[in-house]
Amino acid sequence: MIALSLRDIADTVDGVLHLPAGEADPERLVNGSVQTDSREVVQGSIFVAKPGATTDGHLYAPLAAERGAVLLLVERVLDLPVAQIVVADVVVALGSLASTVVSRVRSEGRLKVVAVTGSNGKTTTKNLLREILERVGPTVAARGSFNNQVGAPMTMLEVTHDTAYLVVEMGASAVGAIARLVGLVRPDIGIVLSVGLAHAGEFGDLDATVRAKSEMVTELLPTDVAVLNADDPRVAHMSEKTGALVVFFGEYGNAMVRATDVRASRAGTTFVLHLTSGEFRPVTFRVLGEHHVMNALAAAAAAEVLGVPLDIIVAGLESVQRAERWRMEVLGGRDNVTVINDAYNASPDSMTAALKTLAQIAEPGSRTIAVLGEMAELGSLAGEEHDRVGLLAVRLNISQVIVVGQGARRMHISTINEGSWDGESAYVDTADEAFELLRTLVQPGDTVLVKSSNSAGLRFLGDRLGDLFS
């Protein structure tokens, strides 16, 4: 974080500063990292005592102080020999502090901010954009999937006076969440990737999801840029809701940044990248799955707006080998067995894309195995969407389906009902049972997809299978 005085921080977050005995200097500067996890605190850090669903960060403040925290952001005064700022709500205070840091650095005239949202692909697009932008200037981007009301400000607070680019990932579980984050950071470029059924149970319906994702662009200024998916009608129509300049990306329609000659294989996807300038260049994109080409186009579009040359954009895209840990991650290799571990998130859209990729990349004559777990947070749509995935697996002629866990059982039932064969769909209750079944089932040359929501825990099954066939 940039250096701020204790008094300055207290004023910024509308808090009350409490200094420990023996310290009477509210002008002392603090510029360490900001942490919500006491285990990550180092000498000079600011510790944010965030209340949680199952615990309370205030309980870990003593450990943070012991590890070298020089300031605690708290909701009540603690009996600790460390400077403390007491606020009404530490999450709100964290956002205020992050907003101030970004605003002050931006006032120096160099920093550009890109924000990314969408039902799928946020983390991949953020990672691709970071790889591109780091080649032209110091870049700060979210770690992992830091995209909520805590994670996004934590990313923002990593900005320093040297930072040229800030890439913020923005997720939402309700209408208004993205608007709050946009208000904190005021992006120069807002990217909307897609609108789908991810988290539909939390939003209530698809219309609410559209409203939530639209918040990325409704408050952009005429001098800002909205980067929108031309191939998703719900996203494309957001151009009518923004006063910003619009840049469309996609493979079809009125896309200004587009991909042609797209060809997918086990090694990744090749395509020709076309920019709004009219320049074009072939790309060898090693991230598995044709659907990730859309994320590459979004990153390329934002980079072009920022003035990044085509050769640097292509070099950045080609340098990325995987979307993210547990996202279309290619493992295995022994006996020509390929394991695709894509079990960090799952929605109907991403499940469809993963199954289509599995069918598409398998070598002629080889078998495909789909190990599928629950898609969480679908609410009343859960039953029919799990049914639909089971039907799709049959229609794509997946050789073997293994469904894991009660939450996903309807996939198995739908697969059996739709299929005309016997035994090609199996159901097990646990990941351990699935692993034992796969140990005997997988043959040389097989391609195995492991796909589920994070809560199903199948990402660890994917890792075990990767190790087994490495």
307 is in an annotated binding site: no
Average pLDDT for residues 86-93, to the nearest whole number? 96
50 is in an annotated binding site: no
Q: Would you state the pLDDT for residue 210?
A: 86
33 is in an annotated binding site: no
User: What is the percent of the chain where pLDDT is above 70?
Assistant: 97
Closest CA to 116 of 154, 153, 157, 168: 168
Average of per-residue pLDDT values in the chain:
92
Provide the CATH number for the domain formed by 4-88 in this structure.
Answer: 3.40.1390.10
123 is in an annotated binding site: yes
The residue type of 100 is: T
Polymer length of the chain:
470
Provide the CATH number for the domain formed by 93-319 in this structure.
Answer: 3.40.1190.10
* Burial of 164 (C-beta count, 10 Å sphere; 0-12/13-18/19+): middle
Average pLDDT for residues 11-15, to the nearest whole number? 97
362-412 pLDDT, tens digit each: 888 899 999 999 998 888 888 999 999 999 999 999 999 999 999 999 999
68 is in an annotated binding site: no
Q: Would you state the pLDDT for residue 206?
A: 72
Query: What is the DSSP-derived secondary structure letter of residue 20?
Result: P
126 is in an annotated binding site: no
- The whole-angstrom separation of Cα 269 and Cα 262 is 7
Judged by DSSP in three states, 454 sits in helix
- Residue ranges covered by each domain of the chain: 4-88, 93-319, 329-468
* pLDDT confidence band for 200 (50 / 70 / 90): low
Closest CA to 9 of 76, 135, 98, 116: 98
Q: Would you state the pLDDT for residue 202?
A: 57
3-state SS track over 342-381: ECCCCCHHHHHHHHHHHHHHCCCCCCEEEEECCCCCCHHH
Helix (H) or strand (E) holding 176: none
Residue 275 in this model has a pLDDT that exceeds 60: yes
Do the Cβ atoms of 284 and 318 come closer than 8 Å? yes
408-433 pLDDT, tens digit each: 999 999 998 887 666 789 999 999 99
- The whole-angstrom separation of Cα 258 and Cα 292 is 13
Residue 461 in this model has a pLDDT that exceeds 70: yes
Q: CATH classification of 329-468 is 3.90.190.20, yes or no?
A: yes
* Max CA pair span of the chain: 80
Q: By mean pLDDT, which of 212-216, 240-244, 305-309, 419-423 is the weakest?
A: 419-423
Q: Would you state the pLDDT for residue 198?
A: 53
124 is in an annotated binding site: yes
